[in-house]
Amino acid sequence: QQCDEVKKIVHQRLIKVDGKVRTDMTFPAGFMDVVTIDKTQENFRLLYDVKGRFAVHRIKSEEAKYKLCRVKKVGVALKGVCYVVTHDGRTIRYPDPLVKVNDTIMVDIATGKIKDFIKFDSGNLCMITGGHNLGRVGVIQHRERHPGSFDIVHIKDSLGHSFATRLSYVFIIGKGNKPYVSLPRGKGVKLSIAEERDRRMAAK
């Protein structure tokens, strides 16, 4: 039943992912992708919650005009044209020369152009996209370099809890404490089982 309904909806060309109509029901949407339903004027961004699950987070139309992409590679093509490759497979030419690997770029979905970028620096806000701390949000404290192995990044969340993760799992989402995208419920703060229980009891 549901499968048929989904099939009908996508074949009516009502669903857009990152501004492009998608009619394939199994089209893979990933972290930071913007899903738009024009008919109901709804926009959603795919993020992670602190339990490590995908969260379909409702956003305003202004925020649906851009997405954040993590830079995975910076290179030079023929005739000296600089380009960057992002986590979602985009290749964007002529980036700002200051953009380096692990930085985050703000991409205009309509044009595919870079509007802004955030450096991978201590003091910037990040979300974890892999490992045991998946979905947590915090401020980068410092980076430990381990040549020949994984670099480790130390992060502190808004409750003051510190944790560490691999560099490749860190996705910068804001300058200082200010996120460039709105966050799902919980704001990426992981509570202990006791804290979660106390919060639920208080809500009752």
Q: Which one is predicted more confidently, 89 or 1?
A: 89
**What confidence category does residue 100 fall into, taking pLDDT thresholds of 50, 70 and 90?**
very high
**Lowest mean pLDDT: which of 9-18, 124-133, 194-203?**
194-203
Is the domain of 112 the same as that of 137?
A: no
Residues 43-66: tens digit of each pLDDT: 999 999 988 899 999 999 899 999
CA-to-CA distance for 24 and 36, rounded, in angstroms?
Answer: 15
Q: Is the pLDDT of residue 1 over 80?
A: no
Residue 112: which CATH number?
2.40.50.740
Does residue 188 lie within any of the structural domains?
Answer: no
CA-to-CA distance for 101 and 98, rounded, in angstroms?
Answer: 10
Q: Is the pLDDT of residue 68 over 90?
A: yes
pLDDT value of position 66: 93
**What confidence category does residue 199 fall into, taking pLDDT thresholds of 50, 70 and 90?**
confident
- The domain of 35 spans 3-61
Q: How many domains does the chain have?
A: 3
Residue 32: which CATH number?
3.10.290.10
pLDDT value of position 44: 94
Q: Is the pLDDT of residue 127 over 90?
A: yes
Q: Is the dihedral angle over the CA atoms 176, 46, 136, 74 positive or is it negative?
A: negative
Does residue 192 lie within any of the structural domains?
Answer: no
CA angle in degrees (0–180, nearest 5) for 194-199-54: 90
pTM of the model: 0.89
Is the domain of 74 the same as that of 39?
A: no
Q: Is the pLDDT of residue 70 over 80?
A: yes
pLDDT value of position 52: 86
Does residue 197 lie within any of the structural domains?
Answer: no
